[in-house]
Each structure stands twice: as C-alpha cells, then as structure tokens.
Structure 1
Amino acid sequence: MLSLEEVTLRPATKADAPLFYSVIDRTMREFIVATWGAWNEERVQRESLENSASPNAQVIQVGNVPVGVLLVEREPTYIQVQQIYLLPDYQHKGIGGYLIEGIIAEATHSKLPVRLRVLTVNPAKEFYEKFGFVVTETSHEFYFMERVS
C-alpha cells in the first residue's frame, strides 16, 4: 500500500525531459490523437525539453522513484496548473488528489483561484470536479476549469 508520506516533489531539470516525454506518451497520447488526429513526435519532444527546464516544473516522486510531473504557474491573480501527469502504475492511488489538495490549500491561503484545462476527450474532468472545479469555458479541444477559493 502506498503511503502519501512517501510522495515528494523535486525541481525538474533538462535531464528530466525523457520522463516528461514518457509520462505524456503513456498518459496523453490516445487523447492527443483523438483530439488532433495525430501524434506530433517532434512537438512532444520539444515541449518535453522546454517544460522540464521550466522553473515551475517539478518531478513527482514516491520515495526516490520518479512517477510523474507537475507544472504549476503562479500568476499575480491566479494559480495555473499546466500539467499534472502520473505514470499509469501510480494513478488511482491518491497521489493526484493529494497534490491538487496542496495546490488548493496554497490558493486558499493566497485567496486566488486555481485554473486548469482538460482535453474534452479526457475523463480527468470528473476528477477535478470532485475538488470543486467548474467549467468556465469550452472549446472544441478543451474544458477550461477553475476553482475559486
């Protein structure tokens, strides 16, 4: 049984680009193809490198094992969750909820809303609704969601 006490975050580096790629490949490929009709290998490789180098990027670990990525941008008037992806073996174990609850707590303390977007074909929308996120806008590709503290 996984103890959430084992879940930690560490700053990401460019050396984590393969992890960013792997997590997106294993968790988002089918949704990306369903939305845009193809997987753009060059783009995903480039964005994985760029995102891993972001000062806002973190690696989610269980013990010393990297299990996912988190990218959160803190703006003056809101907190934006850009990415929260966990490898399939670590999904549905409470890790995502634990991390979202931490972001919500930070936002509540700062009196800021939390924003994110979810592909319309991704069932993660229901996950976020459990934490009080509501759809504020919809496009063909995305649900734009927000949780007001």
Structure 2
Amino acid sequence: MNITFSNTTQSDADTLVAIRIAAMRESLERIGRFNPQRARERFIASFDPALCRFIKVDGVQSGFILIRPQVDRWLLDHLYILPEHQRKGIGAAVLRDIFASADMCRMPIRVGALRGSDSNRFYQRNGFIQTDEAEWDIYYVRQPCESKAES
C-alpha cells in the first residue's frame, strides 16, 4: 500500500465536502443528525486549502486530512477516508505519518470525534486518550513520544 498526499485548492471544496459526507453519513444517521447542507456549510466556513491534503492510496483518491497547527498543539480537524477504503489500515498509516512529524516537533495532537461514531474506537486504538466531552463530540489528545535517542 503506497500512501501519498497531494495539495488541495479552493476549487476542491465540493469534492472534499462529498468525501466528508460519505465518510460521516452512517454515524450522523445513527444519531439523527445527518444533514448534508449543514455538513457542507460547517466545512466550507473553516476550509483552508493550505492546510488540507488529499490522501491517495496506490494513486487512488481515498480521503483527506486537514491539520491546524496551533501554538501548543496540532488540531487534527479532519481525517476522512471514503467508506469503500475504510478498514484497510489507511487511517492508521496516515496517523503514523502525522505522529512522526508531531513527535519531531514535540507537539500533542487533539482530535474530536462524533459521539457514537466508530472513529472513537479508532482514535483510542491509535494512542489517543479521551480528555473531555460535549453534547455531540468526544475529544482526545495524543501526547508526543520521546525519541529513543533522548530516552
């Protein structure tokens, strides 16, 4: 499995929204909150193409990621894999790449997951620890690992 990342532009917004809706649909329907228009508006309101990358697996567009660097942490704002590409290890491989960069910068990573979504178990399996909850979301953080040279 060869995972690569490619830049996004403002003109990719509709494609990214479609990926987001496809990836979240089942979880949102489960809690009675599926609304494609709201999903689109929420994404477009904060979309920054400079921070967003398409995820390609063996040349096939499979999802996208958007990380917002902040002063004291990185916010993993979006990580969506299309349903037909889920449960193949792509998300975990993408996280390993992010973790390597975050560890070099000694930055924690924060992420939120929709309550009741399978993504909660995914983030927990991949080293995130729950920090708090809101009405619709559960929040996690992953602390940077020390390098073996420093141990």
Structures share a fold, TM > 0.5? yes
Q: Please state how far the C-alpha of 1:20 moved relative to its aligned partner.
A: 1.2
Q: Distance in 2 between matches of 1:46 and 1:146?
A: 26
- Equivalent residue number for residue 103 of structure 2: 108
Residue 13 of structure 1, aligned match among 4, 9, 28: 9
Unaligned runs of 5+ in 1: none
Number of aligned residue pairs: give it: 144
C-alpha contact (below 8 Å) 1:19/1:68 kept by paired residues: no
Q: Show the 5 A alignment for 1:43-54.
A: 43-50=38-45, 53-54=48-49
The 1:133–1:38 alpha-carbon spacing in structure 2 relative to 1, beyond 3 Å, is: closer
Which runs of 5 or more structure 2 residues have no equivalent in the other structure?
A: 145-151
SS at 1:55 equivalent: helix
Tell me, yes or no, if the aligned pair for 1:27 and 1:85 is still in contact at 8 Å. Answer: yes
Q: What amino acid does structure 2 have at the position aligned with 1:96?
A: G
Cα distance, 1:52 vs structure 2: 5.4
After TM superposition, the score normalised by the length of structure 2 is 0.84
Do the aligned partners of 1:59 and 1:70 also contact (CA within 8 Å) in 2? yes
CA RMSD of aligned residues (A): 1.9
For 2:35, the equivalent position in structure 1 comes to 40
Tell me, yes or no, if structure 1 residue 29 matches structure 2 residue 19.
no
Mark the CA change 1:51 to 1:94 in structure 2 (over 3 Å): closer, same or farther. farther
**In structure 2, which of residues 83, 87, 92 is the aligned counterpart of residue 88 of structure 1?**
83
Alignment-derived partner of residue 141 in structure 2: 146
Q: Which amino acid aligns with 1:29?
A: R
Corresponding residue to 2:120 among 119, 125, 131: 125
